Amino acid sequence: MGHATMIGQMTSVIILGLDPGLGTTGWGLIRAEGNRLSHIANGQFKTSTADPLASRLVALHAALPALIAAHAPDEAAVEEVFVNSNPQSTLKLGQARGVVLLGAARTGMPVGEYAARLIKKSVVGVGNASKDQVHAMVLRLLPGATVTGPDASDALAVAITHAHMRTSLQRLSVC
């Protein structure tokens, strides 16, 4: 892959955040240079509810490699599945998440996985933050970013969480 570069002692890394969903998968790309974060791009992959499940998964599978080829991220991060009251919805979300994980992992880049509560806590400061609170903090942390929708905002939050976690781990490894 590769844009990881050294700037002085700081490494610049491009992180792809992914918020998987069968109907809409959000994606967001940020650059992390130490604690400094900057927005690169964001968007959403959408599938039609009129299409069979297998076709929707194929469409999702086809969209991700093109995005990765266009931006060559160094690392990826994916939101973990949460179990909701509808087992069928949870299963479909899990299938979409599997396609997204596979698409990112096939490139050989490291892929982090984060629970929704951890993402909200990392970005907003509380694990039960609303989507609106997450969106507002994403815009604050990435000034000038125009976000294409709630799923893209969530994906940027996943990327921000990954950037925070990798910076914390680097600090710990120095000690």
Write out the catalytic residue numbers: 19, 79, 151
Instruction: Pick the closest to residue 154 from 126, 130, 125 (CA basis).
Output: 130
Max CA-CA distance within the chain? Answer: 54
HSE-CB of 116 using CA atoms within 13 angstroms: 14
CA distances from 75 to 1, 18, 50, 82, 159 (A): 9, 11, 33, 23, 9
Taking the C-alpha atoms of residue 17 and residue 25, their distance in angstroms, rounded to an integer, is: 10
